[in-house]
Structure 1
């Protein structure tokens, strides 16, 4: 799918890439809730570079942008993508239903459901938005 980025999103990605040396494939700005948050979709295999030693690179991006930053690692399959988007929750298995709407069903242990959902539903909503933008998945549901 083709993702359209605003000028602000492109500026945020340029800042992220300059600070970390990692490639950002997408950027979502979450301005709801108590704090502004920017979610970067990091190229597969570049998560360690993006975070940096002891998280220094990602903290530098947070200081530069004045917002909290969350990272999601890209993946080659929609199932792996949804699992990455729900991290740090331990996702056991993801199934994509093609009957009618495309829905991703993520099997998450009860102990990790809170992490998958996130405060005020932010994590699962981010997973839904990214899955829609990159794999045309209409919904992400936990099982």
Structure 2
């Protein structure tokens, strides 16, 4: 049996409100390990480092953090997972999203993967969800 998280056997996930399904898998691209996130026909790429980096940030914070998902063109609410995922103060100094025009929504798609991997607890309310490290 193949390991989940490959192109052939992607993780099948749901957004935090449980309203939409999407798939994710790990891949090498241009010598870099990335996450490929497919939502309908839209394909987003995130730096794979984001999993360990966000986990460390959540552990350090020690409490719930609002997700605050936003498109790349919109301002992310301060103090949210989304804002951290594009902040010059995060470990990579900016966006974990790799495809220009599709770099946002970090707070929508990375938390469910971290929950699937057993690294975080994520709320599943219709709006204003939060997460914390396990």
Q: TM class by shorter-chain length? A: 0.3 to 0.5
Greater percentage in helix: 1
Larger C-alpha radius of gyration, 1 or 2? 1
The TM-score normalised by the length of structure 1 is 0.34
Larger relative contact order (CA 8 Å, sep ≥ 6): 2
Q: TM-score, normalising length from structure 2? A: 0.36
